[in-house]
Amino acid sequence: MVHGIIGQHNGCIDVTSKVGQGTTFKMYLPAVDRAPVPIHTEVKMPEYATGGTETILLVEDDPDLRFLMSEVLKEYGYIVVSACDGEEGLQKFEKQDSPISLVIADVVTPRMKGSELYNKIHQARPDTKFLFVSGYQANEISHNFVLDKGLNFLAKPFDLDELAIKVREVLQ
């Protein structure tokens, strides 16, 4: 995630490592010649997440994040089917008795990328909604077709309430 954030700001990371001495990470960001521009923000009322009863397929390779996302979505009333990668996600999608209303998929997972999973599921059920999540920087996601097709996207790290709000938004 650090690499993604630094890359989004046109910076770079230099790593040096010596056995027995340790590792040094140097992060470089571009300098700016102008004074900061004041940001005027409008005070917005906080959005509150509402739940649902739909079935969601959650495809996430990080087991801790997958567990956490699953538990939060279940607290909001959703039925959650979890998978650790795209291949397992596709198998569970095909075997699921009740219809899956939403697939939440990491853009990059082992054995099958999010774009492949999207294409295969949309061949079988074009009405299935997708929400992609990723910690990669925007230009890498674009290469993975998510932003190019205008699909729903949530950048990692995200607040769990933000996840619930986005899920409800996509489902509606």
pTM above 0.75, yes or no: no
Q: Pick the closest to residue 86 from 65, 68, 106, 62 (CA basis).
A: 106
Exposure string of 63-72, with b = 16+ CB inside 10 Å and e = fewer, is: eebbeebbeb
40 C-beta neighbours (distance < 10 Å), count: 5
pLDDT above 80: residue 87: yes
DSSP assigned state of 157 = S
Determine the average pLDDT of the residues in 8-20. Answer: 89
Choice among 26-35, 63-72, 95-104 with the minimum mean pLDDT:
26-35
Task: Scan for tokens 């299935």, then name that residue.
Answer: 128
Domain 55-171 belongs to what architecture? 3-Layer(aba) Sandwich (3.40)
What is the model's pLDDT at position 163?
Answer: 93
State how far the Cα of 11 lies from the Cα of 8, in Å rounded to an integer: 7
User: To the nearest 5 percent, what fractions of the chain are helix, strand and coil?
Assistant: 35, 25, 45
Give the pLDDT score at 6: 83
Tell me the pLDDT tens digit for each residue of 135-163: 865 554 554 555 556 678 888 888 888 99
Average pLDDT, the chain: 85
Q: Show the tokens assigned to 108.
A: 């990059």
What separation in angstroms does the CA of 25 have from each of 1, 4, 8, 14, 17? 14, 15, 18, 6, 9
Structure tokens at 129: 């909604």
Domain chopping of the chain, boundaries: 1-31, 55-171
Task: State yes or no: pLDDT of 10 exceeds 70.
Answer: yes
Tens of pLDDT, residue by residue over 34-48, are 777 776 666 555 567
- 57-83 confidence digits (pLDDT tens): 999 999 999 999 999 999 999 999 999
- Checking if the pLDDT of 51 tops 60, the result is yes
